[in-house]
Amino acid sequence: MPIGYSLKPSGLFDRLYRWISKTSSRYSGGAEQLPPPEAMAGYLKAQRLAYAAVQHVGKLLHVGMTEQQAAELLEAYLREHGTERYLHRAFAWFGEHSRFDGYQDYADYHPSSRALRAEDVAILDVSPVVDGYIGDVGYALSLTPNPELDRAKDFLLQLRDDIPKMFASEMTAAAIWAEIDQRIQAAGFDNVHAKYPHCVLGHRVFRVKPKQGKHLRVGTRSFGWFSLETNLTFLKLGLSAALTPEHIGNKLGLWAIEPHIGFAGGGCKFEEVLVVEPHGVYWLDNEVPHVIEAREKRT
């Protein structure tokens, strides 16, 4: 499907894809089954390792460092802390890349030779697998004060407060996607996650078989985003595993939610796990960097 999203399908293939996406979202392949309470500690450990990696590398960023070098540092940190496995490879996006300007193909999303400038926003995104549990986070920062980034972070924090209420309501996932899209535009931002594969606002997280060593990765294009093992799991779950503009299926389960917005010259996102249970919806962890930073700013 094309990069980006419009309310009106772009052609016959796009109409067919949207129909398939909507229909198949009803069939979850067991993805809506909640893990036992003791498993939550595994997901929490994986998520906290992911945040530790992006915060560590965030402090090492400097003018002239390339996206590829930052991604290598992220992967090195994860190796040093016990995992070479991942849901998707480490990403680093600088400046206009943090809002996907000029991207024509999904291969463009991989870290590039673009060098960081003093005024750039940087987004770091990692998804380690720890003891089979997946963590997936995104983190935005800048080397110098950036009022637009601050405004974007404030907006995303308000969205973070409201997302559990949306999931707890009768809204379908598709309606949640549309509501968030409208809020982004009303606030004067661009919807950058509309440029993700399948225009995902989020995706399910799950457990894979615990084992040592690296994941295999197929190619460098769209399938190259993810490890072979997780690609196969996504294929098994089908499009119910992606929170797309067409998803009308069951919302129960664990979701990595990743609203990504853009402004002139840069972008901003967060990503963390949302737990959707029959009688409650909550973020896996409230002691995450973007929440802590906002709390410290207020005091």
Residue 193 to residue 216: CA distance in whole angstroms? 26
Confidence check: pLDDT of 219 > 60: no
66, 122, 68, 125: which is closest to 91 by C-alpha?
125
Which of 109, 85, 41, 93 is CA-nearest to residue 273? Answer: 41
**Tokens 């990765």 -> residue:** 217
Q: How confident is residue 221, by pLDDT bands cut at 50, 70 and 90?
A: low
d(CA 68, CA 114): 8
What is the pTM (predicted TM-score) of this model?
0.91
Query: pLDDT tens for residues 72-121?
Result: 999 999 999 999 888 888 999 999 999 999 888 778 888 999 999 999 99
- Block residue for tokens 């036992």: 36
What percentage of the chain exceeds 90 in pLDDT? 67
Helix (H) and strand (E) counts for the chain? 7, 13
Q: For 17-47, what is each residue's pLDDT tens digit?
A: 677 778 778 877 777 788 888 899 999 999 9
Q: Where are the domains positioned within the chain? A: 12-298
Q: Which residue has the higher pLDDT, 35 or 136?
A: 136
The C-alpha atoms of residue 134 and residue 139 are separated, in whole angstroms, by 17
Residue 55 has pLDDT above 50, yes or no: yes
Contact 92, 64 (CB under 8 A): no
Q: What is residue 283's three-state secondary structure?
A: strand
- Check residues 5 and 210 and name the one with the higher pLDDT: 210
Give the Cα separation of 114 and 100 in Å (integer): 13
Q: CATH fold of 12-298, please?
A: Creatine Amidinohydrolase (3.90.230)
